[in-house]
Amino acid sequence: MVHFLGARHRATREGGSISSSAVEACPMGLPRSGPSLASSFASRPVAVMNQPSLSDVRSALHRIWIGEEEAQLRREDEKKALELTALLEEIARRVPANDKKPFTLLDVAAGKSYVGLLAAELLLGERASAQVISLERDPRRVELSRVAGARVRTGARLEFIEGEVGRVELWPQEVALAVGLHACGSASDEVIESAIQARARALLLVPCCTSRAAWALPRATRLAEELGIPRAAPVRRRFLQSVVDAERTLRLEAAGYRVEVVEFVAPRVTPHNVLYRAILTHDAGRSERARAELLRLRGPSGATVRTTEGGQE
């Protein structure tokens, strides 16, 4: 079952939420929301750690990545701080209360490793049982991450890997939580597939732009033509995005995850504000329903094939 929920994040979130019991799938496999109800993030650890404040995040951003006292955070840095504060709250819910329990956080499509390194300092602190791994394909960004990592105050082990997120052999054997912030184009689909193959226990994913490389976009485009969706950019873009989001959600649920899709920050912070929360539950009934919905969404062939551009149809 597909869950599309509203945001609930202090000053940076707005909107309501929809529970899993209030969401159905229409014949095409797209979500149909029911009345607004309270929702929960299934399988959360019992205790939630103290949340870092926006001030904590801004201070750490400045010290770790800027370093010069007289320099100020730019406007885009201020917006990034809002995103990171919201995402760190989500990560904190997955960190075990027992600081002796091993915990591996994988920051995928990591860029300069903002997510992983801030989580190491502000959430994991001195726990030596924790490990933070950054996976990024750009060698320059990997090196910048290593430099920034030397400034992080943490007892967690830090590791920086250069490579594609779709190469599941680069993922650790045990992934407690994989996190991807603004994975562009096909990178989001590759993160989903690798998380499924690695049997990551949880995934927090914020896709970025939906380019032609998004796997479900060819199917979404055909559906738009078949249904006569107007070509006016705002109308068609929203339809295409909904199909892409639905396909990604159903793909995760078909693989054994419980998925919620939320706006984790307000649109004024970033237009790319959709967060996938996926928890591995092995619910056979949910997986079976998701597979059926996925087949309807994908059309008569019921198959997905990657195109040469990285998409699927």
- Rounded-to-integer distance, Cα 169 and Cα 35, Å: 43
Q: Nearest CA to 203 among 180, 231, 220?
A: 180
- Rounded-to-integer distance, Cα 19 and Cα 35, Å: 9
- pLDDT score of 237: 84
Contact 217, 311 (CB under 8 A): yes
Question: Would the pLDDT of 18 be above 90?
Answer: no
- Rounded-to-integer distance, Cα 165 and Cα 255, Å: 18
Q: Which domains does the chain have, with CATH numbers?
A: 4-298 (3.40.50.150)
Question: Would the pLDDT of 33 be above 80?
Answer: no
Q: What b/e string do you get for 125-163 counting C-beta neighbours within 10 Å, with b at 16 or more?
A: eebebbbbbbbbbeeebbebbeebbeebebebebebbbe
Looking at the chain, the whole-number percentage of residues with pLDDT higher than 90 is 60
Looking at the chain, the whole-number percentage of residues with pLDDT higher than 70 is 78
Amino acid identity for residue 137 in this structure: R
204 three-class SS:
strand
Question: Would the pLDDT of 141 be above 80?
Answer: yes
Contact 169, 194 (CB under 8 A): no
Distances (CA, A) of 300 to 28, 189, 206, 220, 295: 11, 22, 30, 14, 8
- pLDDT score of 11: 37
- Rounded-to-integer distance, Cα 258 and Cα 280, Å: 6
Instruction: Give pLDDT tens digits for 263-277.
Output: 999 999 999 999 999
Q: For the residues 74-98, what does the mean pLDDT come to?
A: 95
- Rounded-to-integer distance, Cα 204 and Cα 264, Å: 11
Question: Would the pLDDT of 16 be above 50?
Answer: no
Question: Would the pLDDT of 89 be above 70?
Answer: yes
- pLDDT score of 301: 53
134 three-class SS:
strand
Contact 112, 138 (CB under 8 A): no
Q: Nearest CA to 241 among 264, 214, 276?
A: 214
Q: Is the pTM of this model over 0.95?
A: no
Higher pLDDT, 46 or 139: 139
Residues 6+ apart with CB under 8 A from 82: 12, 54, 265, 269
Contact 225, 143 (CB under 8 A): no
CA Rg value for the chain: 19
